[in-house]
Amino acid sequence: MATFKDFRNNVKPNWCPGCGDFSVQAAIQRAAANVGLEPENLAVVSGIGCSGRISGYINSYGFHGIHGRSLPIAQGVKMANKDLTVIASGGDGDGFAIGLGHTIHAIRRNIDVTYIVMDNQIYGLTKGQTSPRSEVGFKTKSTPQGSIESSLSVMEMALTAGATFVAQSFSTDLKDLTSLIEKGIQHKGFSLINVFSPCVTYNKVNTYDWFKENLTKLADIEGYDAHNKVSAMQTLMEHNGLVTGLIYQNKDQKSYQDMVHNYSEEPLAKADLQLDEAQFNELVKEFM
């Protein structure tokens, strides 16, 4: 059986020292091993940004896509080979700006993919601009007088879009993050895991200390029920979205693959796609 070390490769991450993404990488590797995967059972698809590099740092199938497009690629991979565990990843700019349309539709589609967003409330790779997760008044190179746009409430958005698994974690809490990724992988449907992953270079507001002072663990809220959507929404609103843990899970809704008519039991990746002449002629005769 594989251990987390089997999901390591020889590529050294070039994230800034102290970046929260190191912990996200470690959590994915630990979670993959803990649920019994082998490296050849896992595909990690990423977008563009600092977080987009993660697909090259894990010993598994990896695909480094383009900005905001990790989810279309990840969904295609899953549909072609349902035997693979597919993790899509990216940053808040990647998933909640240019890629927001894909995020919304992947959520409502409920395809069996785990989407991990490394949320640092800023564009780090391009050296510090306001992102959709930056708060009003946030000063960056693109908003020197402070942002006048409100921050996107992504957890609330996911619930209203019909998400069946919504969770949030903090990169310093490796145990909790690993556990949530394990649960996301095992969930039969789309899993959204937002991870507060501080940018130590360009975001001097939403720091590790800031999160420690402002985050509330759902495990500390007496009687919290992660299967009650109304309660989940109310709790998010009461805490301005700054909670960690499993926010909501619906195990009753079928995944996209379970609802597709005539979806083959044999993965497309393993199917014999060769056509003989008679089959080819039968397929094209209506166009002749």
Tens digits of residue pLDDT in 252-280: 999 998 999 888 888 888 888 888 899 89
Select from 51, 64, 55, 5 the least CA-distant residue to 29.
5
pLDDT of residue 47: 93
CATH of 4-263, one of 3.40.50.12780, 3.40.50.300, 3.40.190.10, 3.40.50.970: 3.40.50.970
Amino acid, single-letter form, for residue 9: N
Model confidence over 84-134: pLDDT tens digits? 999 999 999 999 999 999 999 999 999 999 999 999 999 999 999 999 999
Select from 42, 17, 23, 40 the least CA-distant residue to 175.
23
* Tokens of residue 4, six digits: 């987390």
- Residue 190 binned pLDDT confidence (cut-offs 50, 70, 90): very high
Q: Tell me, what DSSP letter sits at residue 221?
A: S
Domain spans of the chain? 4-263
The model's pTM is 0.94
* Tokens of residue 287, six digits: 């166009």
Q: How far apart are CA 171 and CA 247, in angstroms?
A: 17
